[in-house]
C-alpha cells in the first residue's frame, strides 16, 4: 500500500454502487415489463448516444454470481444496488412477479453469504411504462403507487436488508425528466416538473412512515444529488443567480426533507414565473420530512453560475462545472465535498448521519492493454482526494457513515450509453462482456485490506 493510511471508523460502510437498469439487462425476461427507460431506448430518439439501450447491459441478471465473487474479492463490506420496479410489479401495481422476487432474494442472499451488507435503493429512475401512461410522477396517485411498491419490497426483503434508500436523485428524474426533457419521460413543462417533484417528496416520506410501521429493524434514508452552486464573481447579480439556482435545484429537495419546508426564495421565484402549481399543499411537507436515519449524498462536484439576462428559467447560466462531467474533464472536487459535509453538519446540528451514496469518475479513455491491465491512476487519485475530504469531515464532527464508489462495473451510463466508464471493473463490450479488474479495483482492494488490519490493531 502507498502512504495513503487514513483510518476510518470501525463500522464504516465501504462499498460500490450500481442501479438495476444500468447493469441487469434481461429487460423482458421472467415476467419483467417495460420501464420508461426501456421504452425510451427502444424508440431510438437519438438522445442516448449511438442509440444504445440497456436490453442486455452487462448481463448482471445472468452473471450476478460472477459479479458477487468480484465484490467479495474487492473486500467491500457493503453494496448498494437498486430494485427494478418492473421486475417486481410488472404493471406498476397489483400482482407481484415472484420470479422477480426470487432473483432479488438470490442476490441478497448471495451478498450476505459473502459477508456483504445489501444497501437497497427502491427506485432509481426506471418507472414502469404502465404508470407513465397514467401520468407518472405528475399524477398524484404516484404517492400511493410508490407506497404500495415499497410495501412489497419491505415484505419480501426487509428481514435481511438493513439499509434502505427510497428514491435516487429526485431532482434528476423530475426536473430533468419533466422540465428539461433530456431523460424519460422527456417532457418539457416546468410547472409539471414542480408538481412531479412534490409528489416524489411526499412519496418518499410516505415510504419512510410505512417502514416505521413495519417494525423492521433497519435504517432508511434517501439519496440526493447535491450540487452546490457558487457565484462566478462578487457581483450582486451573480450572487443572486447562484442563490436562486441553489434554492430551486438540489437544495430545494434537501430543504424539504431535512428542514420540512421549501426554500422561501424558490417558492418566491417559482410563483413570480408562474411555475407554481395551484394544487401543491405545502402542509404535505410534514410527510416529506418524516425523520430519516441517514442522508444519502451523491456527490460529483459543484457548479459556477453567473447572471445572464434571458438565460435559462431564471436569468442564470452555468459557466463552469465539475458536477456530472467532473469525470470527463478530470477535475477532482474534494474541497467542495468537505464544504458540503460541513453545511449539512451546521444545518442539522450534526445529528443527521451522512452516507456518500455515489462518488465516482468516468472516462472514455479506459483501454485494456495486451496484458489485460488497465491503468486508471486518475481514478485512484480521485478516490483518494474524496476519502481524504471525508476523513477531514469526520474529524471535524460530521457523522459520515459510509462511502460508495460509483460504480462497481462499467455499465450503461444513461444518455452517454456505453461511451463513459465509471467502473472499478472493466467490461469488455466487444468480448462477451468479459470482466477485467482495473488498477483502481486493485488499489481499492488494498486500501480496504489496510482498513481491516488497522481495525484489528495490526498496524
**CA dist., res. 305 & res. 176, Å (int):** 18
Judged by phi (left if over 0) then psi (alpha if -120 to 50, else beta), residue 94 lies in: left
425-428 and 434-437 as β-strands: parallel, antiparallel, unpaired? Answer: antiparallel
446 catalytically annotated: no
Catalytic annotation, pick one of 24, 34, 117, 169: 169
The answer to whether residues 165 and 222 touch, using CB atoms and an 8 Å cutoff, is yes
What is the Cβ-side half-sphere exposure of residue 281, based on CA atoms within 13 angstroms?
Answer: 7
Residues 6+ apart with CB under 8 A from 434: 427, 428
What is d(CA 400, CA 353) in angstroms, rounded to the nearest whole number? Answer: 6
Task: Identify the active-site residue in 243, 249, 358, 450.
Answer: 358
H or E element that contains 257? helix 250-258
Catalytic site includes residue 237: no
How would DSSP label each residue in 359-406? ----BS-----TT--B--HHHHHHHHHHHHHHHHHHHTT--EEEEEEE
**Helical residues (DSSP H) of 177-318, grouped into ranges:** 177-178, 190-214, 236-248, 250-258, 264-272, 285-288
Q: List Cα–Cα distances, 135 to 46, 94, 193, 197, 209, in angstroms.
A: 23, 17, 12, 13, 24
For cell 407506497, name the residue.
Answer: 147
Q: Which residue has the cell 488498477?
A: 439
Residue pair 74/448 in contact (Cβ under 8 Å)? The answer is yes
List the Cα angle 294/204/193 in 5-degree steps. Answer: 120
Tell whether the torsion through CA atoms of 412, 23, 138 and 317 is positive or negative: negative
Q: Retrieve residue 438's grid coordinates.
A: 482495473
Helix (H, G, I), strand (E, B) or coil at 267: helix
List the catalytic residues. Answer: 169, 358
Amino acid at each position: 500500500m502507498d502512504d495513503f493510511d487514513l483510518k476510518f471508523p470501525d463500522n464504516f460502510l465501504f462499498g460500490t454502487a450500481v442501479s438495476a437498469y444500468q447493469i441487469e439487462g434481461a429487460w423482458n425476461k421472467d415476467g419483467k415489463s417495460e420501464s420508461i427507460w426501456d421504452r425510451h431506448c427502444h424508440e431510438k430518439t437519438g438522445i442516448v448516444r449511438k442509440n444504445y439501450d440497456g436490453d442486455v447491459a452487462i448481463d448482471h441478471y445472468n452473471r450476478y454470481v460472477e459479479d458477487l465473487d468480484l465484490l467479495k474479492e474487492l473486500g467491500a463490506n457493503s453494496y448498494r444496488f437498486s430494485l427494478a420496479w418492473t421486475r417486481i410489479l410488472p404493471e406498476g401495481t397489483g400482482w407481484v412477479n415472484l420470479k422477480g422476487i426470487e432473483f432479488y432474494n438470490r442476490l441478497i442472499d448471495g451478498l450476505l453469504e459473502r459477508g456483504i451488507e445489501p444497501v437497497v435503493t427502491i427506485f432509481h429512475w426506471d418507472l414502469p411504462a404502465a404508470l407513465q401512461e397514467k401520468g407518472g410522477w405528475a399524477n398524484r396517485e404516484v404517492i400511493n403507487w410508490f407506497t404500495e411498491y415499497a410495501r412489497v419490497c419491505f415484505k419480501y426483503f426487509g428481514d435481511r436488508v438493513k439499509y434502505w434508500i427510497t428514491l435516487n436523485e429526485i431532482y434528476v428524474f423530475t426536473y430533468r425528466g419533466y422540465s428539461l426533457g433530456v431523460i424519460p419521460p422527456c417532457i418539457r413543462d416546468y410547472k409539471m416538473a414542480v408538481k412531479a417533484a412534490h409528489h416524489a417528496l411526499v412519496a418518499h416520506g410516505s415510504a419512510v412512515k410505512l417502514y416505521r410501521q413495519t417494525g423492521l429493524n433497519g435504517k432508511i434514508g434517501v439519496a440526493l444529488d447535491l450540487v452546490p452552486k457558487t457565484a462566478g464573481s462578487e457581483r450582486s447579480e451573480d450572487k443572486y443567480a447562484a442563490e436562486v439556482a441553489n434554492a430551486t435545484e438540489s437544495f430545494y429537495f434537501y430543504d424539504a426533507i431535512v428542514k420540512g419546508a421549501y426554500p422561501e426564495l424558490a417558492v418566491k421565484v417559482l410563483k413570480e414565473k408562474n411555475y407554481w402549481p395551484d394544487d401543491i399543499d405545502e402542509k404535505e411537507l410534514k410527510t416529506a420530512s418524516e425523520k430519516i436515519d441517514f442522508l444519502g449524498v451523491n456527490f460529483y462536484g459543484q457548479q459556477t453560475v453567473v447572471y445572464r439576462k434571458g438565460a435559462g428559467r431564471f436569468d442564470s447560466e452555468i459557466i463552469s462545472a465539475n458536477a456530472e462531467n467532473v469525470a470527463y474533464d478530470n477535475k477532482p472536487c474534494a474541497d467542495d465535498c468537505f464544504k458540503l459535509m460541513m453545511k449539512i453538519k451546521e444545518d442539522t446540528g450534526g445529528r443527521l448521519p451522512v452516507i456518500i451514496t455515489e462518488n465516482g469518475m468516468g472516462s472514455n479513455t479506459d483501454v485494456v492493454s495486451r496484458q489485460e491491465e488497465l491503468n486508471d491512476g486518475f481514478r485512484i487519485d480521485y478516490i483518494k482526494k474524496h476519502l481524504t475530504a471525508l476523513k477531514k469531515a469526520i474529524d471535524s464532527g460530521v457523522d459520515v457513515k459510509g462511502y460508495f464508489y460509483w460504480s462497481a462495473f462499467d455499465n450503461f451510463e444513461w444518455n452517454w450509453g456505453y461511451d463513459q466508464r465509471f467502473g472499478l471493473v472493466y467490461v469488455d463490450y466487444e468480448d462477451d462482456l468479459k470482466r477485467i479488474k482495473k488498477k483502481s479495483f486493485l488499489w481499492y482492494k488494498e486500501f480496504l485490506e489496510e482498513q481491516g488490519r488497522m481495525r484489528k490493531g495490526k498496524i
